[in-house]
Structure 1
Amino acid sequence: MTLKVKVALAVATAALVGGCASQPKNITAAYVSPVQYADYSCPQITAEMDGVSKRTVELYDHLQNKADNDSAEMAIGIVLFWPALLMLNGGDGPEAQEYAHLKGEYKALDEVAGKKSCTVTTRSPETIIKEKEEQKQKEAESKGAGYPT
């Protein structure tokens, strides 16, 4: 292998590892202590869970789009012009940190709600995201159903 090929492979590998945003489904929840919610009433817990859930889903969508775009840019860059990979501005930023924190916050709120026997009507972020993904899947299948394979 020539030196140019080795350098090109090293650059492409570095860009692959460090340049792409993580898929949000792979971002783990940060620990958030449930103690901070111990004095909340059940309606306050429910309201807080609703806000956290909505923001978590918004961030999920944003992070998913960012990860998808990075993947597409990476594929194009590898095939067409690998030096362009150096320009990728992906990676996990403050949104990913906020997403991890919100996931942890929801878990903490859910724990406190369980200890207080609160009736929570808020759907979890995971449930909302799963429903959205299933809906996208159904839409994609229905669009493809009209075409011969």
Structure 2
Amino acid sequence: MRSMSVIAAAIAVTTLGACAQKADRVQATYMSAALYQNLTCEQLVREGWTVSNRAHAAAGKQNRHRLEDEVAITAGVLVFWPALFFTHGNNASTAELAQLKGEMEAIEAASRAKNCGIVFNRA
């Protein structure tokens, strides 16, 4: 019985790597500030709000995927191994969040160049 516990623990540790990342650990994809250089400060603020709202929604989705993956892995290891096939891992939602974080960084850079004072609050 002890060997079954060891095997289950090994499987759990291995499959946790397949979980979606926590939203706050997703790294931004580089986006050039040149995309925003022709915008006024007011336009940058509006674009910043739009991108920030989309990033917030994407972060929520990413964290839901993380939780769903953890539940599926726990169920798969302890109860029903086919549940392991229902994990999200780092998929399109991770890529979307990384891109939005990159856009936020680019907007901040464009804002700095124009002295607009836009700084995103990162939680």
- TM-score, structure 1 length as denominator? 0.69
Runs of 4 or more consecutive aligned structure 1 residues displaced over 3 Å after TM superposition: 7-16
Shift of 1:80: 1.9
Match of 1:134 in 2: none
* Counterparts of 1:15 and 1:85, CA distance in 2: 11
Query: Where does 1:8-47 land on structure 2 (aligned, <5 Å)?
Result: 15-18=15-18, 20-47=19-46
Determine what percentage of the aligned residue pairs are the same residue. 26
Aligned CA-pair RMSD: 2.5
Distance 1:86 1:111 in 2: 42
Give the alignment's TM-score, normalised by structure 2.
Answer: 0.81
User: Gapped runs of 5+ residues in structure 1?
Assistant: 1-6, 131-149
Mapping 1:69-148, distance limit 5 Å: 69-81=68-80, 83-120=81-118, 124=120, 126=122, 130=123
Q: Would you say the 8 A contact 1:53–1:125 is kept in 2?
A: no
Structure 2 alignment gaps of length 5 or more: 1-6
Structure of greater Rg = 1
CA distance, structure 2, for counterparts of residue 51 and residue 65 of structure 1: 21
Q: How many pairs were matched up?
A: 120
